[in-house]
Chain A
Amino acid sequence: MATSQASLLLQKQLRDLCKNPVDGFSAGLVDETNVFEWSVTIIGPPDTLYEGGFFNAIMSFPQNYPISPPTVRFTSEVWHPNVYADGKVCISILHPPGDDPNGYELATERWSPVHTVESIVLSIISMLSSPNDESPANVDAAKQWRDSRDEFRKKVSRCVRKSQEMM
């Protein structure tokens, strides 16, 4: 029951996004038969270091979506304080609900069932434009972002270039 609710919800979101896509990203299914695995291409937001890049990510929804949040993992290389080396995105709204044991995030900043693919990806886009170095996923990137912005910039533009070459 829960499964069908999840898939219905996801199918509806997919339909909406195909007809009325949101600026800044494009989303579809990795495999047309599995509505729980989405492939998302995020267009590097203009006026940020990531401008011009095309970053692919896989969004995996749990069977009990929207009770639990999906995970988002970049398949393109993304150098960012809030993206793990393996591409996993670390933003508060993707963290399971409830208070953060570490006390970093408020319950209101964490996952809530009202979030959709659109709101998640928009959060990721906003994360790209303003990294949060408070609780970094990629410590090296966060350090670079804080201490040597030029190096950071170079590394990011290399990622952008790579993402362009993939096409």
Chain B
Amino acid sequence: MGGGNGDVEGVSNDAKGGDDEVNVNIRCSSGSKFTVKISLSSTVDSFKQLIANQCDVPSDQQRLIYKGRILKDDQTLQSYGLEADHAVHLVRGFAPSAPVNATAATNTGGSNTAQTNSRAAGSTDDVELGGSGFGSLFPGLGLNGLGGSGGLLGAGLPEFEQVQQQLTQNPNIMRDIMNTPAAQNLMNNPEIMRNLLMNNPQMREIIDRNPELGHILNDPSTLRQTLEAARNPELMREMMRNTDRAMSNIESSPEGFNMLRRMYETVQEPLLNATTMAGNAGGDSANPFAALLGTQTGNQARDGSTNPSTTSSETTTGSPAPNTNPLPNPWSTGAAQTNTTRLNPTSDTRPQAPTGLGGLGLPDLDSMFSAMPDAAMVTQLMQNPAISQMMQSFMSSPQYVNQILGMNPQLRSMLDSNPQLREMMQNPEFLRQLTSPETMQQLLTFQQSLMSQLGQRQSTQEQGQTGAGTGTANNAGLEMLTNMFGGLGAGSLAVPNRSNVPPEELYATQLSQLQEMGFFDTQENIRALIATAGNVHAAVERLLGNTGQ
């Protein structure tokens, strides 16, 4: 592909001996029209180059359609029967998928064109620079494991993997690369990034299945932010910290776990599902998302040396036949993940960066979730002075909450329908009370008792069922428990906080809402609202649950 550009200037200079040039009309999909002069014996490729001079569509993104056919680069115009004054449709498409590097090189026009091209040709000399530039894009993109698995670019080259490993071990290289003009260029041009992503068939598949993810990936500001973070370790650490705090905070607020659960269900689960499918289709090495299945693979690649025992235990879960390990199940992974990420922030900062971007902070999210049902884990976390400190400082700044909430459309809509919830989340006073040691302790007790139940339930389910079935069953169990947890936890917190206001007054709006919904027993409604801290949805669930019994 890269070699085909050599004879371009020959055509435009009419060096193609003897042939007369004719006018060909180009019609863009936008409706604009222009005319190109070209010899009919020239190739489609050179035709595209000429067109690129006259419009803003780079030649590798051009799709030319004539007489119901899409023109192929290596054919001549004559072979399609093109004649003078005929019109050709021009549509902007994605850049071709195979020569990713060549594409990027032409687009950036940066200093490393030669390097990337030679890399495409398979030479190993320049792999480090050219290759790592691309590799680094992906961890930054927030699909944590992607970069690590090395398969994202469809290359799966061993050198690539090495480069990435080196890269993770040495943040300086990373920074240097991100500071090169070419990389800077990339950052300023999210379009290219998007193309790079879209060039990967697996990636596309996943985006197809999950349009929400596509939005995130298509958002230029997200991309830029990630890249910026990848370049600047300070910023990255900051982002990591923010997210960590935000997560632990949400977890500890009423309905917070439910919110996280919902986020998990809307973002992570589809991704995992998609991964599963991709994994089944493509096999391990070809599947960039294999790493996301609990982030084990990624950890293996990166932290193999630092944490050998963990990784070895995770090997099974990382395989691309993941349904045998239901999503809520591998808590051990969560613990391990927390260990590796929390304790080695400097050696392994990169994979955490994406969490700062929220929407795609999956692995971290995963670890959070994983940590939740593990009572011991939670206890540990809660008692860790550093963490409570972190949470406290986080609590004092409602913007963080807003940030997190704003990032997930689902969450936002939830908040919009529950203004009280938003108020609660934004009230620093309330948040502070929430984090008071007593409340925390109380919450913890609830959690522990619940989680022990969860543990039992899970283990029985696991015994009873094997294979793919476990996933859904366990999910149901988890859901039930999280619902319970949401209600109970909220209740325990809300009552002491607001006991001085009569509940009729406090929940007046919610009460009327419930009335409208057809729940007429005011006393019952109030009880439900008190128990759910005024969350109408949860209250309805509770009320329905009561009548069902």
* Chain B positions within 8 Å of A150 at CB level: 211
Q: Which residues does chain A contribute within 8 Å of B27, judged by CB atoms? A: 21, 23
Chain A residues with Cβ below 8 Å from B81 are 28, 32
- Determine whether A110 belongs to the interface, using a CB cutoff of 8 Å to chain B: no
Known: A23-B27, A154-B209, A164-B94. A18 touches B68 (CB 8 A): no
Q: Chain A residue with minimal CB distance to B67?
A: A28
| Contact segment of A39-47, A61-69, A98-106, A137-145 | A39-47
The listed residue (B31, B67, B201) touching A27 by CB distance below 8 A is B67
Asked if A88 is at the interface (CB within 8 A of a chain B CB), the reply is: no
Closest 6 CB pairs of A and B: A28-B67, A39-B68, A26-B65, A28-B68, A18-B86, A21-B87
In the complex, chain B residues whose CB is within 8 Å of the CB of A157? 208, 211
A154 contact set on B, CB distance < 8 A: 208-211
Q: Which residues of B contact A (CB under 8 A)?
A: 25, 27, 29, 31, 63, 65-70, 72, 81, 83, 85-89, 91, 93-94, 97, 201, 204-205, 208-211
- Contact among B31, B68, B204, B205 with A26 in the assembled complex (CB-CB below 8 Å): B68
In angstroms, Cα B83 to Cα A133, docked, is: 42
Select from chain A the residue with minimum beta-carbon distance to B80. A28
- Complex interface: chain B residues within 8 A of A29 (CB): 67
- Among the interface residues B81, B85, B91, which one has the most CB atoms of the partner chain A within 10 A? B91
| Number of A interface residues in the complex (CB < 8 A) | 30
Using A19-B86, A167-B93 as known contacts, say yes or no to A41 and B70 having CB atoms under 8 A apart: yes
Closest to A150 in B: B211
Contact B70 A54, beta carbon cutoff 8 Å: yes
When distances are taken between beta carbons in the complex, the residues of chain A under 8 Å from B69 are 26, 28, 39, 41
Chain A residue with Cβ nearest B73: A167
Chain B positions within 8 Å of A40 at CB level:
68
Which chain B residue shows the least CB distance to A45? B29
How many angstroms between the C-alpha atoms of A124 and B210 in the bound complex? 27
CA of A20 to CA of B27, assembled, Å:
9
Q: Is A131 an interface residue (CB 8 A)?
A: no
Q: Is the CB–CB distance between B31 and A56 below 8 Å? A: no
Interface SS of A by simple majority? mixed
A38: interface (CB < 8 Å)? yes
Docked CA distance A154–B70 (Å): 25
The answer on a CB contact under 8 Å between A19 and B85 is yes
Interface residues of A (CB under 8 A from B): 18-21, 23, 25-29, 32, 38-41, 43, 46, 52, 54, 56, 150, 153-154, 157-158, 161, 164-167
Q: Complex formed: what's the CA distance from A27 to B86 in Å?
A: 12
Query: Could you list 12 A-B pairs, sorted by A, with CB under 8 Å?
Result: A18-B67, A19-B85, A21-B27, A21-B89, A23-B27, A26-B66, A28-B67, A28-B69, A41-B89, A43-B89, A154-B209, A161-B208
Contact in complex: B68, A27 (CB < 8 Å): yes
Residue of B nearest to A166 (CB): B70
A19 touching B67, Cβ below 8 Å? no
List A contacts of B204 (CB < 8 A).
161
Nearest B-chain residue to A27, judged by Cβ: B68
Residues of B within 8 Å of A28, CB to CB, are 66-69, 81
A32 surroundings in chain B (CB, below 8 A)? 81
Residues of A with C-beta under 8 A to B89: 21, 25-26, 41, 43
CB pair B68–A19 under 8 Å, yes or no, is no
Query: Whole-angstrom distance from the CB of A89 to the nearest CB of chain B?
Result: 15
- CB <8 Å contact, B63 and A54: yes
A167 to B91, CA, bound (A): 12
CB distance from A156 to the nearest CB of B (A): 9
Complex contact B29–A54 (CB within 8 A): no
Please indicate the chain A residues that have their CB under 8 angstroms from the CB of B83 in the complex.
18
Q: Which residue on B lies nearest to A18, using beta carbons?
A: B86
Chain A residues within 8 Å of B66, by CB: 26, 28
| Cβ B70 vs Cβ A19 within 8 A | no
Contacts of A21 in B (CB 8 A): 27, 87, 89
A54/B65 contact (C-beta < 8 A), A32-B81, A154-B209 known: yes
CB nearest neighbor in A for B84 = A19
| A-B contacts besides A157-B211, A161-B208, A167-B70, 12 pairs, CB < 8 Å | A19-B87, A26-B66, A26-B67, A28-B66, A39-B67, A39-B68, A40-B68, A150-B211, A158-B209, A161-B204, A167-B63, A167-B93
- Residues of chain B within 8 A (CB-CB) of A38 are 68
Cβ contact within 8 Å between A20 and B208:
no
Residues in chain B near residue A166, CB distance under 8 A: 70
Instruction: Find out whether the CB atom of A41 lies under 8 angstroms from the CB atom of B68.
Output: yes
